[in-house]
Amino acid sequence: MNSRIISILFCIVSVTISCGKNNLSQTQFINEVNRLTQLHNGYIPDKAIDKLFLTIEENPQTIDFQIDKSDFETTALIITTSQDGRMRTYSVERGGFMGNPAFGCDARTLLQYRDDNSIKCIELENVIGYIAKIVRVDTLKHRYILLDYEQAICQGDHFYMKLMGVEITDSGEIVPIKIFKEAGHLYSHIDLNWEGYGYDEASDKVKTSVELFDYQCMYYDESIGELSIPHIIEYYGYPIATEAWHCYQWDGRYFVDKGVAPLFDLYCGDFHIIIDLSQDGNYRYRCWNKNRQVSDKPDLQIDSGIKLYWDECGTKMVYKNAYDILPIGYIYTFYNKNYRYEYHTGWYRGRNVDELRIYRDSNELIYLHDCTHAPDDCN
């Protein structure tokens, strides 16, 4: 039985499949995928992708195959599976994911999911890139977040991601749901995009995005119901990804916007210190003396700081990109009159470093103390 469901979020074609129409083994399925995803004149024909999706639809047992992209010869397929095994996507890039990504993805994605009675397949037509992660967020209902991700390298690096809320209903359909709550408004999806760098022509200054080595760029801690996504700022008209994370808290119905989490929430001796990012992306240092609350005015606040790195030899440096020697430690530095405040964190000469240093008159060390971290919290 075929039915077409059109929604504001995406269009899908739903096909209900009964088990046993075909009965490919896992090895046979892998061989069939490799055969159908061969490039012809640099691309995979849509007819071949249609055949692949039909093969998956006619073999519902494939949802239980223990497979990922490493099992296939092709570079054109990415398989993503939810942790509970009820949902899986097959994203096929027409030119191969390891081909030329200059203008982003040219992919088609099939979503396979299990309701209470059968295995169903739908093709997601409004996915910009490919589904990089599927997360179940509600143990009582079949509610999920699908992460749509794309990267392009045409005249610079460009990144796009969309978080989409979906639910498998009691009738076995999959529908978009509004599960994100910001400023009292409900949304079914969150869109993010950022550039590799921003440039101010007047001052000839460049601000680069942090390197998000995990391309999936989304983390969900099920134990505390906390969702974290990149915090994006604007730099002279360019969206830039920072090292901070924007947090949402699951309240049983919605992910409620909790704002931007601090980079570090520290206790160092008699001081409570928070290092975070201001709205313009500068590092900020706030300190409260013993027995003061964070809700109180800080005893010291410095609104502009810099970040340095050290390598395995302990040499301080400015780390610019992945072609440099990878840093193993970080120094967040703040100046106030003739005092310099440094938070050191990382690995140095066989030990973990996590300490606050305060210098007077350039290099006179007047305070050194190990730091402990407050429990992770988006508040």
CA dist., res. 336 & res. 343, Å (int): 14
Residue with tokens 């601000």: 207
Q: Which pLDDT tens digit goes with each residue over 285-296?
A: 999 998 899 999
Burial degree of 346 (CB within 10 A; 0-12, 13-18, 19+) = middle
CA dist., res. 307 & res. 319, Å (int): 9
pLDDT of amino acid 369: 96
Strand-pair category, 255-260 with 264-268: unpaired
Q: Which pLDDT tens digit goes with each residue over 236-246?
A: 889 999 989 99
Which helix (DSSP H) or strand (DSSP E) does residue 231 occupy? strand 226-235
More confident residue, 361 or 153: 361
The residue-averaged pLDDT of 53-72 equals 93
Residues making up the chain, counted from first to last: 379
Helices (H), the chain: 26-36, 46-57
Query: Is the per-residue pLDDT at 322 higher than 60?
Result: no
Q: Locate 29 and state its tokens.
A: 């399925």
List beta partners, residue 311: none
Residue with tokens 């391309």: 215
Burial degree of 362 (CB within 10 A; 0-12, 13-18, 19+) = exposed
- When pLDDT is cut at 50, 70 and 90, the band that residue 153 belongs to is confident
Specify whether the CB–CB gap between 160 and 193 falls below 8 A: yes
Query: Is the per-residue pLDDT at 38 higher than 60?
Result: yes
**Angstrom distances, CA of residue 155 to CA of 70, 102, 196:** 30, 8, 10
Q: Which pLDDT tens digit goes with each residue over 208-224?
A: 887 655 556 899 998 99
Q: Which pLDDT tens digit goes with each residue over 10-23?
A: 444 444 433 345 78
pTM score: 0.82
CA dist., res. 162 & res. 147, Å (int): 6
The residue-averaged pLDDT of 58-87 equals 92
- When pLDDT is cut at 50, 70 and 90, the band that residue 98 belongs to is low
Specify whether the CB–CB gap between 259 and 277 falls below 8 A: no
pLDDT above 90 as % of the chain = 57
- Number of Cβ within a 10 Å radius of residue 110: 21
- DSSP, collapsed to helix, strand or coil, labels residue 63 as helix
CA dist., res. 227 & res. 174, Å (int): 22
Q: Tell me, what DSSP letter sits at residue 261?
A: P
**Angstrom distances, CA of residue 19 to CA of 92, 114, 205:** 24, 12, 60
pLDDT of amino acid 318: 66
The residue-averaged pLDDT of 329-355 equals 92
pLDDT of amino acid 7: 40
Burial degree of 185 (CB within 10 A; 0-12, 13-18, 19+) = exposed
- When pLDDT is cut at 50, 70 and 90, the band that residue 376 belongs to is low
Residue with tokens 């979020």: 9
DSSP string, 73-94: S-SSEEEEE-TTSSEEEEEEET
Strand-pair category, 158-168 with 142-152: antiparallel
List beta partners, residue 191: 162
**Angstrom distances, CA of residue 344 to CA of 141, 298, 314, 367:** 44, 21, 12, 13
On average, the pLDDT of the chain sits at 86
pLDDT above 70 as % of the chain = 86
